[in-house]
Structure 1
């Protein structure tokens, strides 16, 4: 891993003007740290401290909402006007629903839990899952008949009801159907042929991830999100510290945190260092961070990874001149439900398959491969960008102003196709 050394303050960061954010400024002092991981030194940027401030403030917003305080739940204008995911992934609405309604409701044997988690994860739409569960009896893998699920899904499709959530891009494999939702249903059937056995025999969380990657359309992002969903159940008993996968957004967030180029092979080491040293940074910045639940659990590897992704989005929002719509919570928040499977003592044993990444020491470059769609969010045009060298499921929505700096020719060419 690494160690944390104190060094003199100062820094040569140049101010680029006052930000609207209370949490981030390019002109802020360089954090007084030197990070050493695997013998290589990394010097933090002001964005490194922003990461911790964002993590603490976003979690404080969640706590204020749950305590019954009225909005606004923060004084930060960026967090007031834009939606950001929770610091803890398990607190997101979809994850809470997954635990309470998908995992804990129904037969608890390995095959049945795996089936329900798979079905929910392929569409990640609460309404779709609830419709299937209501219309189909018995709602079990042991009594599964494709025609029953196809009938319900085609009925939703015919009425123009959204089957998928807009949260992720999920390319469907070509398994003989014209519709993506049917190809995903067929993929679920293929996965179920082996997945229960794979889960029961896996020595490492990485083993399950590598097996998932052998299937069409299962890119890094989709496979990792499914793996995390499964980890909330009793079908796996791995530590939260075993395994993490970096996506496009978290890679960019990590690069914002340090001055030096970061080889792909050292990304996970840095994330592990961030996770293990989090108490030091919250204390150094005098941030009140209560952790998760009554046991005050720290941020896990997956929380660090997706908060890095939120950091990249947050800093980009800081640079936008237009104001978005005030963030409004989606109703009252219920009692926090943590997975029962987390109490398994086997999860206290850390099992890391590869202590060091087996990838070459390359510096990641983010090159636009194509622009495939557009939308308007908070009055700002965004484009769906596919990246060179990345799987289709890692496509991301990028704001027009950022893309005009990085790939103006491709933006202009795309705009011509829609005018």
Structure 2
């Protein structure tokens, strides 16, 4: 049931964008370039230039905040009102916490590093991790006993304290327990039997990802996020040019950036092209982009994928008036970059398969069902399960967009909720 996520051109949110946006101009001409991959040529839309303007402006905001400058950090009304992730994934709050508190604090033994990163990534909650770390000493795999972790997690559960982050839903495997957190704890135990060895012997980073995806509930999204978190440490030493996984949100963003339909097999190639030609686009648009850190690190593959998802949200917000302003905190803590990024092994390019994908088909996003709803900044969002995707790709979508694309799914959700 539901409808295709590919809307007709006349209904595209980019055609309804208010002119006050300095990052996106709906009446702008398409960028004077095309990209050809796998024998197919793709022509960018005006949203393609919005991608680069967004990347530059969002990073400029972060740089100002790191310097302790007062708000407002941007003249762009959308970036002033709504929260968006950083241009660089590593600068997001959770990534910074993983580097400073999960990786750098504690034993640097590879197995213990894997355990702490896996434990945090399973719940992706700073409060849950700090509660575990405060109650269990030492927080190590070598001294692991399930009863100790169950006691702490069950206390949070009984006190109705959120164990998981609210950013996205994590499906739990069925490993014989009633509660999701216990099934996830059991999954940590299962993964720890081989994950340290998988990281050590992997010839390609894709090997670790492929192995993770053999486990039920460990789909593309969850597996890729765990791989990225592991890559902040020395246990997974591969170049950031090696591997990327395209999620549902970034697929939508990529589709906005180019005319016509993009086959799944072409997505990674286009993202690689965007990453390699970024200097050209910043220069063409007269954008100042300083890169990351003292070495001016460019946007990497994971960052392009990350930004595409944010640009999709940005363009949608252009057509949606604000109901409640977003008020970010002031000065940011000192930036922490992974020490492992300086290791020599990171300089060698190791792509498992140059072809990366062989199947030629058009990716469609069709609403299978709606699982839940919530309020965010005065607006309603629905948790959507997409037809043909695993549950770890479920995503929160705004009500106004679903009202256009899948009104029957919304009606059916409310009918079942009232039963």
2:105 is the counterpart of 1:105? yes
Is this contact kept in 1: 2:325–2:377, CA < 8 A? Answer: no
Q: Deviations over 1:157-193 (max 9, x none)?
A: 1111111111121001011111111111110000000
Is this contact kept in 1: 2:69–2:331, CA < 8 A? Answer: no
Q: Deviations over 1:283-329 (max 9, x none)?
A: 00001111101111000100000100001111011111x21433322
- 1:132 maps to what in 2? 132
SS in structure 1 of the partner of residue 69 of structure 2: coil
The 5-angstrom pairing of residues 265-344 of structure 1 reads 265-320=265-320, 322-344=321-343
How far has the Cα of 1:377 moved from its partner?
A: 1.7
The 5-angstrom pairing of residues 37-52 of structure 1 reads 37-52=37-52
The 5-angstrom pairing of residues 142-181 of structure 1 reads 142-181=142-181
Q: Deviations over 1:372-395 (max 9, x none)?
A: 111122222211100001110111
How far has the Cα of 1:71 moved from its partner?
A: 1.3
Q: Deviations over 1:252-285 (max 9, x none)?
A: 1000011121110110000000000000000000
Is this contact kept in 2: 1:205–1:242, CA < 8 A? Answer: yes
CA gap 1:306/1:355 in 2 versus in 1, 3 angstroms: same
- 1:249 maps to what in 2? 249
Q: Deviations over 1:185-236 (max 9, x none)?
A: 1100000001111111100000000000011100100000000000000101
Distance 1:156 1:378 in 2: 26
How far has the Cα of 1:68 moved from its partner?
A: 1.3
Q: TM-score, normalised by structure 2?
A: 0.94
How far has the Cα of 1:29 moved from its partner?
A: 1.5
Distance 2:378 2:300 in 1: 34
SS in structure 2 of the partner of residue 376 of structure 1: strand
Is this contact kept in 2: 1:251–1:309, CA < 8 A? Answer: yes
CA gap 1:343/1:324 in 2 versus in 1, 3 angstroms: farther
Tell which has more relative contact order, 1 or 2 (C-alpha 8 A, sep 6+): 2
RMSD (Å) for aligned C-alpha atoms: 1.3
Is this contact kept in 2: 1:263–1:363, CA < 8 A? Answer: yes
SS in structure 2 of the partner of residue 33 of structure 1: coil
CA gap 1:235/1:15 in 2 versus in 1, 3 angstroms: closer
Is this contact kept in 2: 1:15–1:28, CA < 8 A? Answer: no
- 1:406 maps to what in 2? 405
SS in structure 2 of the partner of residue 373 of structure 1: strand
Distance 2:344 2:161 in 1: 43
Is this contact kept in 1: 2:274–2:304, CA < 8 A? Answer: yes
Distance 2:330 2:390 in 1: 35
Distance 1:415 1:26 in 2: 35
Question: Which stretch shows the higher mean deviation, 233-242 or 408-417?
Answer: 408-417
How far has the Cα of 1:34 moved from its partner?
A: 1.7
2:409 is the counterpart of 1:415? no
SS in structure 1 of the partner of residue 401 of structure 2: helix
Q: Deviations over 1:78-123 (max 9, x none)?
A: 1111110000000011101100110011111110000000000001
How far has the Cα of 1:65 moved from its partner?
A: 0.9
The 5-angstrom pairing of residues 193-204 of structure 1 reads 193-204=193-204
CA gap 1:142/1:286 in 2 versus in 1, 3 angstroms: same
Is this contact kept in 1: 2:221–2:393, CA < 8 A? Answer: yes
Is this contact kept in 2: 1:19–1:318, CA < 8 A? Answer: no
Distance 1:74 1:17 in 2: 18
Is this contact kept in 2: 1:20–1:78, CA < 8 A? Answer: no
Question: Which stretch shows the higher mean deviation, 387-396 or 67-76?
Answer: 67-76
Is this contact kept in 2: 1:256–1:312, CA < 8 A? Answer: yes
Distance 2:117 2:295 in 1: 26
Distance 1:15 1:316 in 2: 11
Structure 2 residue runs without a partner (length 5+): 1-13
Q: How many residues align?
A: 405
Q: TM-score, normalised by structure 1?
A: 0.94
Distance 2:322 2:312 in 1: 18
Is this contact kept in 1: 2:17–2:319, CA < 8 A? Answer: no
Distance 1:195 1:16 in 2: 48
Q: Deviations over 1:37-94 (max 9, x none)?
A: 2332111000000000010111011111111111121111111111100000000111
CA gap 1:69/1:325 in 2 versus in 1, 3 angstroms: farther
- Report runs of 4+ in structure 1 exceeding 4 Å deviation: 14-17
Q: Deviations over 1:326-373 (max 9, x none)?
A: 332245311111101111111100100011133310000110000011
